[in-house]
Amino acid sequence: MKRVISLQGGMAAGKTTLAKRLERAISDAWVIYEDPSALVQKRKELALDLQKEKDFIVNQRMFIEHEVERFRRLPDANIIYDRGPEDIECYTLHYPLSIGKEWDIEGQLKAELKELRSCRSDTIIYLDAQTKTLSARKEGDATRSRGSFAQAMRMLPYEKEWFSRLPATTVLPVDALDVETVEARVLPLIANLWKD
């Protein structure tokens, strides 16, 4: 039986770090890491401008189709996503608002969003951190450039509100927690969710 947990949260909240630790700690989990590089490259090749409605729709259709295909290929196992389908849906719906646009996303991507919504995680663990914490973590991490950090911070209020309303979400405040403590709090949650 496929059981899916997704780790969500703002950029630099610690999702990937946590996913790597969980991968070492849970022997029977499949950890699926976010890697949009091929899609970002395709966006560059198509010269898409996300500030333009038509280009944004093309871009999100591409991301949604990729995410649906990725979800459908998941093995029948315990899955931990570093992000996941709900992240794509949140970005699709809220990015325009974060740049001051009121585009008809639901209307233009109706079929795609319906398909994406059929690919839900069973549980979402949202690593909740304040902007100042995320900024400090970004500055302290020389291993990643995080070039879209400013846009991610504009999205953060929409993201926090949207995820908090999804019934599958457990919010874990992480501002004052080190990675070992976050792992120690998440492991029992996962064990409880995955017990047979």
d(CA 64, CA 83): 13
Give the tokens for residue 5. Answer: 């947990």
Structure tokens at 23: 């991968």
Task: Check: CB of residue 57 under 8 Å from CB of residue 97.
Answer: no
Percentage of residues of the chain with pLDDT beyond 90: 84
DSSP classification of residue 176: T
Instruction: Report helix, strand or coil for 81.
Output: strand
Superfamily of domain 3-194: P-loop containing nucleotide triphosphate hydrolases (3.40.50.300)
Distance (Å, whole) CA 110 – CA 45: 26
pLDDT at 163 over 80: yes
| DSSP secondary structure code for residue 92 in this structure | H
Domain layout of the chain by residue ranges: 3-194
User: What pLDDT is recorded for position 141?
Assistant: 75
pLDDT value of position 162: 96
Model pLDDT for residues 47-71, shown as the tens digit of each residue: 999 999 999 999 999 999 999 999 9
Can you tell me the mean pLDDT for 43-49? Answer: 97
How far apart are alpha carbons 158 and 93 in whole angstroms?
A: 9
Give the predicted TM-score (pTM) of the model: 0.93
Strands (E), 1-119: 3-9, 29-32, 78-82
What is the tens place of the pLDDT at every residue in 104-154? 999 999 999 999 999 999 999 999 999 999 999 888 777 777 668 888 999
